[in-house]
Amino acid sequence: MLTIAGISISMIWIWLAVAIIFIIIEAITVGLTTIWFAAGALVALVLAFLKVGPMAQVIIFLIVSLALLGTTRKVFVNKLKTGSQKTNVDALVGEEGVVMEDITPHNVGLVKVKGQNWTAVASDREATIVKDATVRVVAIEGVKLIVE
């Protein structure tokens, strides 16, 4: 039992509250960081049920939380690929297209990629790419495709 302001509070309730708080924070942020502290709090909760001392509970909580954070977070982030989904124009990088209007040095041309026309420049700014040539999108700058 822990006494705060004259009120006895069981460590079981404290660890349960800590776990719930970390779970709520993880649900809001989805950063795969606080979930490991929630797991550490659940381990400490089990220790509280087993009547292990509060100082040992805190130490084990920190060890388990930091060990999980350090060893498993990167694996889960890579597995879930959070934030790495290509969307919109970024999905065009690597796609092939057909030149509809010549691309000349210092002038934009027109390229059709996935059925849509885009203004485009050559990745080699001094190159000329003629109409009907097949090109590959290597980057996007503003609203122009960079092709080669």
pLDDT in tens, 37-47: 999 999 999 99
What predicted TM-score, i.e. pTM, was given to this entire model? 0.52
Mean of all residue pLDDT scores within the chain? 86
Q: Exposed/middle/buried for 33, CB within 10 Å: 0-12, 13-18, 19+? A: middle
pLDDT in tens, 84-138: 555 566 778 888 999 999 999 888 899 999 888 999 999 888 888 999 999 999 9
Expressed in angstroms, the distance from the first to the final Cα of the chain is 71
Q: Which helix (H) or strand (E) holds 112?
A: strand 109-113
pLDDT of residue 141: 84
Query: What percent of the chain has a predicted confidence (pLDDT) above 90?
Result: 47
pLDDT of residue 39: 95
Separation of alpha carbons 64 and 39, rounded Å: 8
pLDDT of residue 85: 53
Does the structure show a pLDDT above 70 at 4? no
Classify the phi-psi angles of 37: left when phi > 0, otherwise alpha if psi is within -120 to 50, otherwise beta. alpha
Query: What percent of the chain has a predicted confidence (pLDDT) above 70?
Result: 87
Does the structure show a pLDDT above 90 at 55? yes
pLDDT of residue 31: 78
Neighbouring C-alpha atoms within 13 Å toward the C-beta of 105: 4
- Residue type for 51, please? K
